[in-house]
Amino acid sequence: MGKLVMAYWDCPFCGGQGIRGDVVKCPSCGRPRGDVTFYMKDHAENDVRIDGDTADIEYLDEEKAKTVNRNPDWYCSFCNTLNSDNAAFCSNCGASRKDSESNYFDVQKKKQEKEQRNAQPASPPPTRSSGSKRPLLLLIVAVLAIVGLFTFLNGNKTSGDLTVTSLAWQRNIQIEENREFSESGWTLPQGAELTSQQQEIHHYDNVLSHYEDVEVQRSRQVLDHYKTEHTYENLGNGTFEEITEQVPVYRTEYYTETESQPVYVPVPRYATKYYYKIWRWTPTRVATASGEDHNAAWPDTALGENEREGERAEAYGFTVQAKDGKMSTYRIAESDWRNLNVGDGLYITAKRTGADAYISDKDGNRIADIVRVQ
């Protein structure tokens, strides 16, 4: 068992402070020691003291320590007095210990729980005032405004009084020429004419060559010495018990170690590389035809030697003018484009953001899909 250290307590009745733990009544007001908290001077709970630290610690001498019962004081349920574990009756009112169940630590626990409850902020009572509803009302208004704006922007807007001012079409044919290319590779393509072949480096592999001894610096934790640490346990009877522990202290030690490490070298790997000639169809030019009427036709390609027609592309569009003179151009499918004529009046419906435009009737019903160009 560790050494016993004198504790102190403060009188909750008259405010007297620093009363020794072996004093059972307040020297100032004479009240018996009741609901108090024992403490050590110059020491806080969970503090660790190291040998050599200065602290106001009063050890009980060995003879006196032998007479101290190390169990906590018991708490009289009748007069709230703390009594030694040796006492069968309360030193203040004479009540039997059998009629009391709590000890010092039980009382401290209840005291801490009460302090924690009191420290928690009380919930404000519900109120019917309009002020408490104002933040919620503002939130609802903001949400409704956002929803309304979203709905408005995603809603459709139909524009009338639009007149078709022009039509346009364009058709393209890509012209390809069959040309001979000189190429090389690790395989010979079908239809290629081999001109030569030889062994060449295809890639490198890292191959283990040998091992080398290398000096490597390492570190380790080694025991340097022991330090003596003291902690203190409240016995709940006006004393603390000193718990002494030898704690190891380590230092970092650096050392050099020889380590065998592998050394790799790049080794070339060879394969057959082919050199060949091959004919490929290659885009060389584009034949284009365009107009501003319904007479859309494919352009004359006038193919030369070793030429052929490749991919085809076509586009159809129209321009409309609003009453304010603003012009807009759209692309449209050929089948719908052929139903349009210069001078026609149109209704165009689109999202208010400008997306997903289409030709419609005056009520916004879809007739033909279009894509705005400008």
Q: What is the mean pLDDT of residues 257-285?
A: 97
Give the helix/strand (H/E) hosting 62: helix 62-67
The predicted-structure confidence for 50-76, as pLDDT tens digits, reads as follows 877 766 788 999 888 888 989 999 999
Res. 165 pLDDT band, cuts 50 70 90? very high
SS3 sequence of 248-273: EEEEEEEEEEEEEEEEEEEEEEEEEE
Question: Which tokens go with 92?
Answer: 């203040």
Q: How far apart are CA 339 and CA 202, in angstroms?
A: 62
Among positive and negative, which fits the CA dihedral 182, 187, 191, 194? Answer: positive
Q: For the residues of 267-308, what is the DSSP string, one character each? A: EEEEEEEEEEEEEEEEEEEEEEEEESSS---PPP----TTEE
The predicted-structure confidence for 101-147, as pLDDT tens digits, reads as follows 899 999 989 888 888 888 877 655 555 555 556 666 677 666 665 55
Rg of the chain on CA atoms, in Å: 49
Q: What pLDDT is stored for residue 150 in this prediction?
A: 47
Beta-bridge partner residues of 48: none
| pTM to 2 decimal places | 0.49
CB 348, CB 360: distance < 8 Å: yes
123: three-class secondary structure by DSSP: coil
Q: What is the mean pLDDT of residues 308-329?
A: 94
Q: How far apart are CA 165 and CA 158, in angstroms?
A: 19
Least confident of 112-116, 148-152, 274-278, 335-339: 148-152
Q: What is the mean pLDDT of residues 285-306?
A: 95
